[in-house]
Structure 1
Amino acid sequence: MLDAALAATETDDGVTLSLRIENPGPDPVTLDFRTGQRAEFTAYPADGNETGSEGERPDPVWRYGAGRMFTQALGSETLDPGEAVAYEGAWRSPPSGTFRVVGEVAATDCDTRAATNVDVA
């Protein structure tokens, strides 16, 4: 089991995101990736609920990987016990408002994610 924390910092041209993943366990954990993308960041309207009435998430306002090209090469990263890694992303020119941003590791067979609210002026 990996621990995750998401930090968001408002900048002059948008929001900088950092998804920190840490291995708190006693054994190494290998993350296997299908592409060069290491994390996905998704912004939703912040209505206090990440899921809709049917348990589904509302439509995202923004998705980091949408319209981006990533290398089409398999890759892996191993986190030793106590080791951490951070994956960065940037949301350029977001609209004003409050959003719930979710950061997820893009590795196969890994459901590690973290979320935070972001206020954009």
Structure 2
Amino acid sequence: MLDAALATTETDDGVALSLRIENGGSDPVTLDFRTGQRAEFTAYPAGESGDGTGDAPTDGDSPGRDSVDSVWRYGAGRMFTQALASETLAPGESVEYEGTWRDPPAGTYRTVGEATVTDRDVRAETTVVVEP
């Protein structure tokens, strides 16, 4: 069982994001990756979900990807190594993946952090307020 938590911190150059994943189970868990990217961070306008629940709907073609237009996506325009890799988490062990949203516009955003692992849905979200 994997538990995920997303922390955000405002810094001088933007918003620092940290996705922490912990193996809360009693057996080792292997995380398999298709590229060098370990996590995707995405920011959405807060409260824009279309269903009144505050949670954006997902489209059927991309599980875990929100259909509401994002304001920012960490991996957009970046290049990552094209190599298969894996990491194994022992019971109770955790790993953190970090990214920075540089110079975000002022506003309130729903931020989502997702591990880019295959065959698992490991994600967490939180709200961040960027002051002018």
- Asked whether 1:51 is paired with 2:56, we answer yes
Give 4+ residue runs of structure 1 displaced > 2 Å after superposition: 54-57
Please tell me whether the aligned partners of residues 44 and 50 of structure 1 are also in contact (alpha carbons under 8 angstroms).
no
TM-score with structure 2 length normalisation? 0.86
Partner residue of 1:80?
Answer: 90
TM-score with structure 1 length normalisation? 0.94
Partner residue of 2:123?
Answer: 113
Q: CA deviation at 1:51?
A: 1.5
C-alpha RMSD over aligned residues:
1.6
Q: CA deviation at 1:7?
A: 0.2
Q: CA deviation at 1:110?
A: 1.3
Partner residue of 1:32?
Answer: 32
Q: Give ranges in structure 1 of 5+ residues lacking alignment.
A: none
SS of alignment partner, residue 60 of structure 1:
coil
One-letter identity of the residue aligned with 2:70: P
Cα distance in 1 for partners of 2:113, 2:107 equals 19
Percent identity, please.
73
* Matched length: 120
Q: Give ranges in structure 2 of 5+ residues lacking alignment.
A: 49-53, 61-65
Match of 1:62 among 72, 75, 84: 72
